[in-house]
Structure 1
Amino acid sequence: MFEKFAKSSENTLYVIFRVVVGLLFAMHGLSKLGWIGGKEAMTGLFLVVGIGELLVGLGILTGLLTRISALGGLVIMIGAQIMSHLPKGINPMTNGGELSLLFLVSFLVVFALGAKKLSLGKALFGKELL
């Protein structure tokens, strides 16, 4: 019974996963730009990262250049781990790195699977780009 449900729902569940990951990451970027969360816009490297997070999130959310977006997200999250979290220790529960690890693994999944069936790239071009 479960296998039948899993097989028949595979694409729908993946689209939900992709949309939620993309939306949350875009919101993460918007918060760095001062648009969500009541914070002031960040400057310097954090501003660049915020723009990158917004673009990555939108790419994954819409399914346009999905794998390139996921690769960009991987780079951002690896950078976050190296620059911000690992200097505070290796345990993500004490160094504040659990969210970036969840995003990192999510981007690995999206990079491996691409956009799948429902995507803006397929709607516009008839196929997934890259």
Structure 2
Amino acid sequence: MLSVLRIVAALIFFAHGSQKLLGFPPTDTSPEAFTLSWIAGVLELVGGSLLLVGLFTRPVAFILSGQMAFAYWLAHAPRSPFPVENGGDASILYCFVFLYLVFAGPGPLSLDAAMSGRARST
């Protein structure tokens, strides 16, 4: 289930980056290069891809957890102290799921596990 959690979170996170940078799914706005939103999109696209396959899981999850904490305090918290009102629910959840992956690791269905020889043989 750890691998499933990592894969599902990575797929949804990747979708945020692909929307920002690749315009898929289609959106009305696209961030200008090297803005905070563009950097977030790069982290979401690249980090989501790496988490999806379970490569460099712990350091990538650490960076993405920090990104989500930063996003919450920068973009959401100033609107309201309540996550339900400021739209920061997903940022908080991603932050702690990624923080969990830092300590729990990628799970058995990952390139990290395969490269270390810990993948389950079937």
Q: TM-score, normalised by structure 2?
A: 0.86
Structure 1: 5+ residue stretches without partners: 1-12
- Match of residue 12 from structure 2: 24
Aligned-residue RMSD, C-alpha: 1.7
SS at match of 2:46: helix
Q: Give the AA of the match of 2:96.
A: V
- Match of residue 31 from structure 2: 42
- Aligned-residue offset at 1:125: 5.0
29-38 or 93-102: bigger deviation: 29-38
> How many angstroms apart in 1 are the aligned matches of 2:40 and 2:117?
31
Aligned residues: 116
**Post-superposition, which runs of at least 4 consecutive aligned residues in structure 1 deviate over 3 A?**
124-128
Larger helix fraction of residues: 1
- Match of residue 58 from structure 1: 49
Contact 2:108 2:118 survives alignment (8 Å): no
Contact 1:34 1:42 survives alignment (8 Å): no
1:86-97 to 2 correspondences below 5 Å: 86-97=77-88
Structure 2: 5+ residue stretches without partners: none
- Match of residue 79 from structure 1: 70
